[in-house]
A and B are shown apart, each in its own frame.
Chain A
Amino acid sequence: MMRKDFFERYPKSGDNLIGILHDLQDRNEWNFLSKEDLQAAADYLELPYSFVHGVATFYTMFSLKPRGRHIIRVCQSPPCQLMGATTVSNELKKLLDVDFGQTSADQMFTLEITSCLGVCGVAPAMMVDGDVYGNLTPQRVEEIISEKRRQS
């Protein structure tokens, strides 16, 4: 769908900016907001480009650089830390050969940090795209990653 087609669903008022940015990012093949995306949002809502850029950089769910096919968000909040989030993060870094904020060489995964996902009962937890995984161990993480690799 062309950008301007789905823009029509939003009334032209500034409070729809975050919703529009969500939509733009979801439609972007590389899970990020390109300059063109930001410009289109700015044009549609008649806002300065710099303002839109400012909003997009404030929120952790938006990325201004291309990301992998799957976004892995590892919870780093105290409940997950207590239950072993560090071990899980290290395993992920090793498996994907990346650090937080980076994308794996095959462009498959981007590893990110997230604050509490609200599933603390199954800590440590992570979110892959829209799905939540809990009770993670290094073995479980490896299974999830190879499953995702197989699927694509």
Chain B
Amino acid sequence: MNLFRMHILVPVDEEAIQAGVFDVKRELENEIQRRGMAGEVKALETGTVGAVGKGVVLIVYPDNIYYYNVRREDVAVIMEEHVVKGRVAKSIAHAVGDDLEHGHKAFHQVGLTRKQPRIILDKCCMVDSYDIEEVISYGGYQALEKIVSEKITPQQIIDEIKKSGLRGRGGAGFPTGLKWSFTAQTPGDVKYVICNADEGEPGTFKDRLILEGDPHKLVEAMIITGYAVGARKGYIYIRGEYELSIERTQRAIDDAMAQGLLGDKILGSDITFHLEIKKGAGAYVCGEETALIESLEGDRGNPRVKPPYPAAQGLWQKPTLVNNVETLANVPHIIFKGAEWYASLGTKKCPGTKVFTILGHVEYPGLIEVEMGTPLREIIYSYGGGVKDGKRFKAALVGGAAGVFLPDRLLDVPMDFESLKENAAVLGSGAILVMNEDASILEMLHSVLEFFAHESCGQCSPCRIGTRQLLNMIEDFRKGEGVESQLDAMIRISETMLNTSLCPLGQSLIMPVKSALENFREEFPAKYKTKSESVIDRRKK
């Protein structure tokens, strides 16, 4: 194996492709050839680092210097200055910015390159996922190897996950080990494991980063999960719009099959596991686990009535376990390094790390992985660089569209399931949409309600009618025709939806509606004070 003096990482995703990353990469490879450095410098295609809006990014290792917005003509400069002469090409090293003078370290105090305890994203942007040998040399499949060589039993795995305190990262935060044990305990010869990669929560792209940057980790996690609960077949349900994710994950499955890491008698053991990708076709509701199962079976994605839960009757009525991508990505690390190590991260009740997306009016939009319980203020100001253009912070929509509008008095809330719950908020998917003083909460709530009215599957009446009613009311306010009692009606409707809707889509609207109306009531000026003539009020008389 050739040892390279220097690696130049070329993160590729949809955004980089649009910015011409393949041109840059070709130019880079040509330059390396032309200078006869093919034996010492290697250009390597990886997933993205999480900093977005920066065009083509090149990262030079081991120096750890980031070059943003790289154009084809910049490549020669980087080669000449950095690779040959060994000094940072200051004229185009946008990322290192003010730290350039101080030791050229990319990990600085503010911004997305600030030091992060990256566990589940450890290989994202670091390895070429098309090269399975490289993935393995970086620690890929070592948890699986440990299970096989140390003959760890399924029960031991489940106990370890339980002990780690891992909780579902899809939004609800249900204890993962407990969920596994339900599926494991259900008698049955045929069971299934499903990875929920139907990432559709507005403002979220954490799963995409894992699927594009480190699909092998997901494959490994699925094998371990399948072995633990007694399933020999798994499905990864990826949303239809994520073409690059589908391609990379499929390649990872094929490569793992070829290496004997997947399929029959994995690594010579008795473990058998097969994996298949299913492509979605655009339906937000399919992120709900029973709707996802319906869709996977080839049906309309209407949620099922629970119980029975998937653990008892899931895919084709067989015991099934559904886990989110990020949840699964934790599994190999817990198995390899142990539950105690994992439980030492984050908070007592919510151990581990969490991937957050920071968006909207911030200096550095993008994605980070930090310990659970990191205060919102630190995430927005230290990683996101604070509110853009020196404006004042007004609110953050935390947790996606089904999230909560948090006012500035809650900026110090620790970001974990429990602390947010205490403040009537949710962690959700970990999306943080920052709004500055100019943003209109009315417009944002309208956008949220429009989204839900569009995505409601229409199966149950509270959600189908409720989302429409809420949208009608907010549109009255947008037109300046609002009636004050409508605001109370909106909360009542969402409460009814919480109590009577079939699935979390309808149940969670209370979060954005209530938080917007309670924290920012002044943003919803009513034209009329008189009692509303809405259907609900008339019926009450």
Interface residues of A (CB under 8 A from B): 13-19, 21-22, 54-55, 58-62, 76-79, 81-83, 113-123, 127, 130-135
Contact = CB atoms under 8 A, between A and B. Distances in A.
B357 interface: yes
Contacts of B295: 18
Contact of B199 (A55, A76, A118, A121): A118
Interface stretch (B154-162, B223-231, B276-284, B524-532): B276-284
Contact of A133 (B18, B241, B397, B444): B18
Contacts of B242: 118
Interface in B11-25: 14-15, 17-18
Contacts of A132: 14-15, 17-18
A115 B284 contact: yes
B443 interface: yes
Contacts of B433: 78-79, 82
B124 interface: no
Nearest to B241: A117
Contact of A118 (B208, B278, B279, B366): B208
A113 B202 CA distance: 14
Given A18-B279, A59-B281, A118-B208, 13 more contacts: A14-B297, A14-B299, A76-B450, A78-B433, A79-B360, A82-B360, A115-B282, A116-B202, A120-B52, A120-B204, A122-B365, A131-B18, A134-B15
B344 interface: no
A121 B454 contact: no
B189 to A, nearest CB: 19
A22 B279 contact: yes
Contacts of B296: 15
Contact of A16 (B298, B365, B457): B298
Nearest to B315: A15
Given A18-B278, A59-B281, A61-B282, A77 B205 contact: no
Contacts of A81: 443-444, 447
Contact of B401 (A78, A121, A122): A78
B53 interface: yes
B439 A116 contact: no
Interface residues of B, number: 55
Contact of A115 (B18, B200, B278, B365): B200
A29 to B, nearest CB: 20
Contacts of A131: 14, 17-18
8 contacts: A19-B278, A22-B279, A55-B300, A61-B281, A78-B203, A81-B444, A83-B360, A134-B15
Chain A contact surface mostly: mixed
Interface centre among A59, A62, A116 (most CB of B within 10 A): A116
Nearest to B440: A82
A108 to B, nearest CB: 20
B425 interface: no
Contacts of A120: 52, 202-205, 357, 359, 365, 431
Name the residue in A13, A118, A135 with the highest tally of chain B Cβ atoms < 10 Å from its Cβ. A118
Question: Which of A19, A76, A115, A133 is most buried by chain B, counting CB atoms within 10 A of its CB?
Answer: A115
* Central interface residue in B199, B202, B435, B443, by most chain A CB within 10 Å: B202
Given A81-B443, A81-B444, A122-B53, A22 B240 contact: yes
B123 interface: no
A83 B433 CA distance: 11
A19 B283 contact: no
A120 B284 CA distance: 16
B241 A114 contact: yes
B519 to A, nearest CB: 16
Nearest to A56: B281
B484 interface: no
B447 A78 contact: yes
